A and B are shown apart, each in its own frame.
Chain A
Amino acid sequence: MNDSGTSADDPLAPRLTLEGPLVLQSGVSLSPVTIAYQTYGTLNADKSNTILLCHALTGDQFAAGKHPVTDKDGWWHHLIGPNNVIDTDRYFVISTNVLGGCLGSTGPKETNPETGQPYGLDFPVITIRDMVQAQARLLDQLGIAKVFCVTGGSMGALQTLEWAHRFPDRITAAVPIAGSYRHSAQNIAFDEVGRQAIMADPDWAQGNYLEKGTVPKRGLSVARMAAHITYLSEPALQRKFGRRLQDRDSLTYGFDADFQVESYLRHQGSTFVDRFDANSYLYITRAMDYFDLAEENGGKLANAFKDTPVRFCLISFSSDWLFPTTESRAVVHALNANAAKVSFVEVESDKGHDAFLLDEPEFHETLRGFLDGAARSVGLQDVATEGAS
């Protein structure tokens, strides 16, 4: 798999197999580990212009361009490009599919070399730290010693904070968006609902659905429906759907999707199963649940960022109740305790957690301004004009 990056018929290329095993936080040694990734822009001569994008729970490496499975635009396509917020004339953007993911990186649906069958539940439990270690190893092999900026929303923010904690000297800037230093009890609770929905589906077959040739569609779509509610906000749902009926003039006195909001959620659930692996969903939600930077550092979050040289920009959204502003503020306070260089903005929005994926001009301009400032501070220029001055 090492050079499948050159394979023209692999829609998930490039992929890179790590040299040697990856020792996971659980102590398990995983090998081989392959990471699929996408890049946008050009790496500059001194390899100093990399922005690492970390995707959210159900995201993937296709942050820009067309998605090969869904044919939809990448999750941050509106931010990435020449002269855009994440300016590909200046930055070299790397976006990886996380370890445990289902779009080309090693995860539960890939083949277990010991059995020749998909891993299924034999895949070891992974953590946010493991995802980050895998990314760091990928960058090692690409010869990128220092990253200009790590950023991402939601689970991407968890990875970003883990990066800042684990590799403070390897990154110049970190922008955790709509995230937290730990998964709250409420977050764990919602994840558990999703996992139980998947595992209650007979088609899940104790995790062996790939061998059985079934797909736990009902379970996975219910998991997605429940989770999707947490990505929105009550005002956003009200604005978008209210109590409006779906393609009918009156109630049917049955359990069809009478309401638009029901129909919308069912659609979200059913399209999700076409692009996401149920076991990956179990593993990745587990990784998020296990994340707690404070506990890992003697119960004191400030210890996670001791004398950090990293420039931080935290961004939260006022109506986000999955990762509310209080969580970002706790990180800000921990960074203040280290007199770290930190910017923090709560963007006023009624779009809930999902706002980080949507058209939110204030968020975009904040990110642009912060990146510009950080780039200025390390003398980063557009790749084409490099050496011109």
Chain B
Amino acid sequence: MTETPTTLPTQMQSGIRVDLQLVADQIKPNSRVLDVGCGDGMLLAYLRDYKHVDGRGLELSMARVSGAVREGLAVIQGDLDSDLKHYPEGAFDYAILSQTLQATRNPKGVLEDLLRLGTHAVVSFPNFGHWRVRLSLLLRGRMPSTPTLPESWYDTENIHLCTIKDFLTLVDDMGVTIEAGFALDGHGQKVNYAVTGWLANLFSEQALFVLRR
């Protein structure tokens, strides 16, 4: 499930989506990057053009792959649940998984794969601990539907949603180092809560982490 699953903010800033800009900011110039679920390659093109990154992409949607390849990007059609295993250990400096972890069949396995083939993993996901989500279930008694997670339960591709706290517990269990973490609003812009604190888990709509083996 590599296709970017949710309708994400498309606010543009210097030609690139703001949530992607923050991801791009985590990448050191001249590094080797695998963007898993790269869509039409917007981030990869940016990294190539502005950071001289040697990039690869994996994307489920053939239409998006086609668009990315036409941009001259090294993008292949594939499914991250089955295709990540082919890449060798330490092949990349960064493995990026943007807003897709919650749509994978085996998020823990995917994280392990990302940290096997990349020295760093850059992972972002919607926070299911956001107050709107909590309130939606508590007061309406129905599966949450929020601006960040608008789909109904029966047609969402998000099968493994988690809160920031859940994610922190998982990476702790895995013995993974968190190099950086950001609490984000609905547009993918940084907000001023410590990502590991309870405020972030309640008030930020998304989170972004840079992990290291």
- Chain A interface (Cβ within 8 Å of chain B)? 311, 313-314, 329, 332-333, 336-339, 341-348, 362, 365-366, 368-370, 372-374, 376-377
Contacts and interface: CB of A to CB of B under 8 A. Distances in A.
A332 B74 contact: no
30 contacts: A313-B69, A332-B76, A333-B83, A333-B86, A336-B83, A336-B87, A339-B56, A339-B87, A339-B91, A339-B92, A343-B69, A343-B73, A343-B75, A344-B76, A344-B78, A345-B62, A345-B65, A346-B62, A347-B66, A365-B66, A365-B70, A366-B69, A368-B70, A369-B71, A370-B72, A373-B71, A373-B73, A374-B72, A376-B72, A377-B72
Contacts of B91: 339
B88 interface: yes
A225 B125 CA distance: 55
- Top 10 A-B pairs ranked by shortest CB distance? A373-B72, A369-B70, A339-B91, A344-B76, A336-B86, A343-B69, A333-B86, A341-B74, A336-B87, A366-B69
Interface of B: 32, 54, 56, 62, 65-66, 68-78, 83, 86-88, 91-92
Give the interface SS of chain B, mostly helix, strand, loop or mixed: mixed
A342 B72 contact: no
B68 to A, nearest CB: 8
B69 A338 contact: no
Given A336-B83, A339-B92, A348 B62 contact: yes
A131 B68 CA distance: 33
Contacts of A347: 66
A342 B57 CA distance: 9
Contacts of B68: 343
A339 B77 contact: no
Contacts of B73: 343, 373
A339 B78 CA distance: 15
Contact of A366 (B56, B66, B76, B86): B66
Which residue, of B56, B72, B88, B92, has the highest number of chain A Cβ atoms within 10 A? B72
The CB with the most chain B CB atoms within 10 A, among A362, A366, A369, A377, is that of A369
A344 B65 contact: yes
A78 to B, nearest CB: 18
A238 to B, nearest CB: 24
Nearest to A333: B86
B205 to A, nearest CB: 34
A376 B66 CA distance: 19
A329 B78 CA distance: 9
A343 B74 contact: yes
B79 to A, nearest CB: 11
Contacts of B76: 314, 332, 336, 342-344
Contacts of B78: 329, 332, 344
Contacts of A336: 76, 83, 86-87
Nearest to B90: A339
Contacts of A346: 62, 77
Contact of A337 (B62, B66, B71, B86): B86
A341 B56 contact: yes
Nearest to A338: B88
A311 B74 contact: yes
Find the residue from B54, B62, B77, B83 having the highest chain A CB count within 10 A.
Answer: B77
B69 A342 contact: no
A15 B27 CA distance: 52
Nearest to A365: B70
Contacts of B62: 345-346, 348
Nearest to B32: A339
